[in-house]
Amino acid sequence: MRVTVRLFARLRDLAGAAEFAREVPDGATIETVWQLVAAEFPSLVAYTRSISAARNAEYAKPSAPVADGDEIAFLPPVSGGVDDHV
Amino acid sequence: MRVTVRLFARLRDLAGAAEFAREVPDGATIETVWQLVAAEFPSLVAYTRSISAARNAEYAKPSAPVADGDEIAFLPPVSGGVDDHV
Amino acid sequence: MHFVGLVRRDNAGRRVAWLEYEAYEPLALGAFDRIAREAARHWPAAHLAIHHRTGRVELGEPSVVIAAASPHRAEAFAACRFAIERIKQIAPIWKHEFFEGGKVWIEGATANPDDERALAEAVRRACE
Amino acid sequence: MHFVGLVRRDNAGRRVAWLEYEAYEPLALGAFDRIAREAARHWPAAHLAIHHRTGRVELGEPSVVIAAASPHRAEAFAACRFAIERIKQIAPIWKHEFFEGGKVWIEGATANPDDERALAEAVRRACE
């Protein structure tokens, strides 16, 4: 099956790609997709423990299954809001 | 000596006067002035324990001396700001 | 950040028609300065601006506005909350409530800027 | 009440030139809804509105605005403070800082809306 992968912020800069489609095996989970992406873009490996993921624009756990046509997003640690001086 | 007395909010309504000049004895304090005012307007007596006072637009204690020409204000309990539901 | 206090329709079971605020203006402005200085002792980076309406204020209109600016959000929140608590304690401003069938002066705290317990309570509510 | 976060000139010893915020927009809007629902569980009378800029934001401009309305000021303050803490925890928004001589992505928390400890910390900071 085929999913759309989206990368944000520094993940996108490191990979040099914001969005691309990839073939993933049946039974794949979010984690499977990440492993495929990290294998293709080794500079992302360091983020394995700090990313969040979303499936079709909802937060999803690594163990969540993915389906054909899903949009799977990987998110580096977030920094919205105001400066973190306190 | 002569001072100007000012009354606010419900004190003014009860006395029916916002501002008036009165003769007070030498050595008078804020408290002396209040006693004269309360004697003149007995409906104010109930406020004796809950008023605040100011001398020339600065908060002043009952024991503060007053001088000729002073503006002495008596203030019922305040209620500015927002409603006190919390 | 800003705090805006709006006039409410319901108070103590009465349906409010409008309010009239009265102030002893020079003393009120002095009290606002005092509150800003007190806040600066606790939250030195925070700057406060305080404005209070006088005269008739309609339902839903703002009666009081406080602006607090600080590089650190915790200080802005604390200084702003402190200011509204302290205004209620020591600002010589009185609310005359007009409701269906009558009117009443709302009386809260006896203003005493030297009351250390009241000051401490305002600091506590400000959530340092 | 309103909280407005402004872009600061100084951050971590760097002189900031401007910021660029990037968001995963549908997920960010979902996170704002979630934050409002979480706040409603703790402070039912408070209503929240949250807005965050994306793209380039200049020094001194607002990056985030939160409005909290409540009949009780304590709830408005708490819900507003909760919202800013929670935005920093779970909103999929990233700050790209451009400074003299370079640029850097600011990375804070790993977003995990199910992290109960983070949620509890945001509630604690909100000063009930």
| Secondary structure of C53-118 as H, E, C letters | CCEEEECCCEEEEEEEECCCHHHHHHHHHHHHHHHHHHCCEEEEEEECCEEEEECCECCCCCCHHH
Q: How far apart are CA A49 and CA B55, in angstroms?
A: 67
CB pairs under 8 A between A and D: 102
pLDDT value at residue B86: 37
3-class SS at B5? strand
Q: How far apart are CA D16 and CA C71, in angstroms?
A: 14
Q: What is the CATH number of the domain that holds D90?
A: 3.90.1170.40
Place of tokens 């204020």: C57
The answer to whether the CB of B71 falls within 8 A of the CB of B3 is yes
pLDDT value at residue A86: 37
- Tens of each residue's pLDDT in chain D, 128 residues: 999 999 999 888 899 999 999 999 999 999 999 999 999 999 999 999 999 999 999 999 999 999 999 998 999 999 999 999 999 999 999 999 999 889 999 999 999 999 999 999 999 998 75
pLDDT value at residue A84: 59
Poorest-pLDDT segment among A72-86, C18-32, C37-51: A72-86
pLDDT value at residue B83: 72
Mean pLDDT of A64-78: 98
For C69, list phi and psi in degrees, rounded to 5: -120, 140
The answer to whether the CB of D77 falls within 8 A of the CB of D88 is no
Q: Which domain range does residue D41 map to?
A: 2-126
pLDDT value at residue C13: 85
**D43, D72, D128: best to mutate for the B interface, most B CBs within 10 A:** D72
C-A interface (Cβ pairs under 8 Å ≥ 3): yes
What number does CATH give the domain A2-75?
3.10.20.30
DSSP for A12-29, written as a single string: HHHHT-SEEEEE--TT-B
pLDDT value at residue A82: 80
Measured between CA atoms, how close is C78 to chain A, in angstroms? Answer: 13
Point out the residues of chain B with pLDDT beneath 50: 85-86
Subunits with 3+ C-beta pairs closer than 8 A to D:
A, B, C
Number of domains chain D contains: 1
pLDDT value at residue C12: 82
pLDDT value at residue B84: 59
- pLDDT at residue A83 tops 80: no
The answer to whether the CB of A64 falls within 8 A of the CB of A37 is no
Q: How far apart are CA D45 and CA B70, in angstroms?
A: 48
DSSP for D104-122, written as a single string: EEE--BPP-TT-HHHHHHH
The residue among D25, D22, D6 whose CA lies nearest residue D63 is D6
Q: Do residue D108 and residue A75 have CB atoms under 8 angstroms apart? A: no
| Chain centre distance of CA A27 | 17
Q: How far apart are CA A70 and CA A80, in angstroms?
A: 26
- pLDDT at residue C17 tops 60: yes
Measured between CA atoms, how close is B86 to chain D, in angstroms? Answer: 6
Q: Which residues of chain C make contact with D5, given a CB cutoff of 8 A? A: 73
Type of residue found at A11: L
Q: Do residue D5 and residue C73 have CB atoms under 8 angstroms apart? A: yes
The answer to whether the CB of D96 falls within 8 A of the CB of D22 is yes
Closest residue to D2, CB basis, from C2, C71, C127: C2
pLDDT value at residue B39: 97
- Residue of chain C with shortest Cα separation from D60: C71
Bridging pattern class, strands D14-23 and D93-99 = antiparallel
- pLDDT at residue C11 tops 90: no
